[in-house]
């Protein structure tokens, strides 16, 4: 297991958070601090504490690529309509195969594929 620390955005869900914790990952959740926190504040928090943001919110791409917002890594899940269990399986598989490559990178999972930039 990697020592990667994560910050989950609200839309990711408790099932993913709990599954990552059970697997031994260090997880903080936006929902536990302020469920209405602005995306830019989430990115700034993650940079301060060196955590990979896991989100389903496409606005993070806009912040990183068009606004040039710094980040400690973002994993954008394009899994609209997926159950918590499906999201958890996907994230655990991504972490098992790619955790060492995610920090500091912007990654998108969609249609069964992971793009890491």
* pLDDT digit string, tens, across residues 28-54: 999 999 999 999 999 999 999 999 999
What is the distance of C-alpha 94 from the center of its chain? Answer: 11
The band of 3, judged by pLDDT with boundaries at 50, 70 and 90, is: confident
Q: What stretch of H or E contains 14?
A: helix 14-22
Sign, CA torsion 100/68/60/9? positive
Class (C level, CATH) for 5-116? alpha beta
> Facing residues of 54 across strands?
8, 75
């Amino acid at each position: 297991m990697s020592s990667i620390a994560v910050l989950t955005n609200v839309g990711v869900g408790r099932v993913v958070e709990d599954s990552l914790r059970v697997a031994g990952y260090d997880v903080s959740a936006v929902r536990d601090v302020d469920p209405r926190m602005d995306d830019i504040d989430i990115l700034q928090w993650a940079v301060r504490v060196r955590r990979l943001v896991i989100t389903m919110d496409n606005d993070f791409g806009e912040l990183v690529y068009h606004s040039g917002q710094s980040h400690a890594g973002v994993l954008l899940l394009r899994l609209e309509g997926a159950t918590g269990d499906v999201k958890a399986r996907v994230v655990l598989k991504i972490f098992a195969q790619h955790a060492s490559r995610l920090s500091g990178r912007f990654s998108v999972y969609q249609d069964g594929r992971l793009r890491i930039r």
